[in-house]
């Protein structure tokens, strides 16, 4: 009779150990998936921030021989890049409107609204400042509160405030 109890206790101990292993494995998988999700979300937010800064930097660098000036759209900073296509003068406005980084190309004198232009990326704020001759400081705040900044040299063209 004692051997039967011993076999039952061995079985219960083995079953309990197996259940403990299964529960621990499930908790580990859930924890790992949450960590992966947080890392992935953070990478997406950083990507949006870096891409916005690189986009504006490249637009400034592409403004060969054109004029660069700072203006405003609905009280928010805007970057205006002037270029000549054929014999026609164009202005490319880059600004933040309705939570989006936007770009619109218009003829000089055309009014630009916060809903105009093509949506580039989600962005809360865009701040522009001429810090030195030929140097533009770009500061942005992403859709989730992340901030980034860069400085761009635009020595090829002229700048006006």
Task: Give the model confidence (pLDDT) of 55-102 as tens digits.
Answer: 999 999 888 777 889 999 999 999 999 988 888 899 999 999 888 999
Which DSSP helix (H) or strand (E) runs through 27? helix 2-62
Confidence of residue 161 (pLDDT cuts 50, 70, 90): very low
Residue 111 in contact with residue 80, Cβ under 8 Å? no
Burial of 156 (0-12, 13-18, 19+ CB in 10 A): middle
In terms of residues, how long is the chain?
161
CA 10 to chain centroid, in Å, comes to 58
At 5 the pLDDT is 60
Instruction: Provide the token pair at 128.
Output: 């522009």
Task: Quickly list DSSP for 62-105.
Answer: H-TT-EEEEEEETTEEEEEEEEEETTEEEEEEEEEETTEEEEEE
Calculate the dihedral angle through the C-alpha atoms of 17, 18, 23, 26, rounding to the nearest 10 degrees. 140
* Per-residue exposure over 84-121, b if at least 16 CB sit within 10 Å of its own CB, e if not: eeeeeebbbbbbbbeebbbbbeeeeeeebebebbeebb
Average the pLDDT over 13-29 and give the result.
93
At 62 the pLDDT is 86
The overall average pLDDT reported for the chain is 87
Task: Give the model confidence (pLDDT) of 55-65 as tens digits.
Answer: 999 999 888 77
């Amino acid at each position: 009779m004692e051997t039967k109890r011993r076999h039952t206790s061995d079985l219960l101990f083995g079953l309990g150990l197996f259940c403990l292993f299964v529960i621990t494995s499930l908790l580990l998988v859930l924890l790992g998936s949450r960590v992966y999700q947080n890392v992935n979300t953070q990478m997406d937010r950083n990507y949006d921030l870096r891409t916005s800064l690189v986009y504006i930097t490249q637009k400034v660098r592409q403004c060969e021989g054109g004029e660069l000036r700072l203006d405003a759209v609905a009280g928010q900073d805007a970057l205006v890049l002037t270029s000549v296509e054929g014999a026609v003068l164009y202005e490319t406005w880059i600004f933040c409107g309705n939570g989006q980084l936007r770009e619109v190309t218009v003829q000089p004198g055309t009014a630009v609204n916060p809903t105009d232009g093509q949506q580039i990326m989600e962005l809360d704020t865009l701040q522009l400042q001429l810090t030195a001759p030929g140097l533009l400081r770009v500061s942005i705040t992403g859709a989730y509160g992340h901030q980034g900044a860069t400085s761009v040299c635009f020595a090829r063209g002229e700048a006006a405030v």
